[in-house]
Amino acid sequence: EIVLTQSPGTLSLSPGERATLSCRASQSVGSDYLAWYQQKPGQAPRLLIYGASSRATGIPDRFSGSGSGTDFTVTISRLEPEDFAVYYCQQHVDLPWTFGQGTKVEIK
């Protein structure tokens, strides 16, 4: 099973600041099989980034993803109030599909 480790666990930032979230895989997942999701309290997750760097439909361009192999990053260039949420990475190169434990982006 591929283990995904996200860091940091919690990121405390102010609106307008830049957020950088990391995801490290226990073995290579290439670049095509890494996705990121955003989840707000009481809501279902929403696909944010797929293929490590492609934005999903309707995702604003302040969100960007990068990485390949075992190290991946999602960056929010300038935090908007609606961006404060929990973010999960997920690999789908190998079953079982696995998720990271999440990074919570909270208002400082």
Total number of residues that touch another protein (CB under 8 A)? 24
- Is residue 88 close enough to count as binding another protein by CB under 8 A? yes
- Is residue 58 close enough to count as binding another protein by CB under 8 A? no
- Is residue 37 close enough to count as binding another protein by CB under 8 A? yes
DSSP string, the chain: ---EEEE-SEEEE-TT--EEEEEEESS--TTTTEEEEEE-TTS--EEEEETTTEEPTT--TTEEEEEETTEEEEEESS--GGG-SEEEEEE-SSSSPEE---EEEEE-
- Is residue 72 close enough to count as binding another protein by CB under 8 A? no
- Is residue 28 close enough to count as binding another protein by CB under 8 A? no
Kindly list the residues in this chain that would bind another protein in the complex (CB under 8 A). 33, 35, 37, 39, 43-47, 50, 56-57, 88, 90, 92-93, 95-102
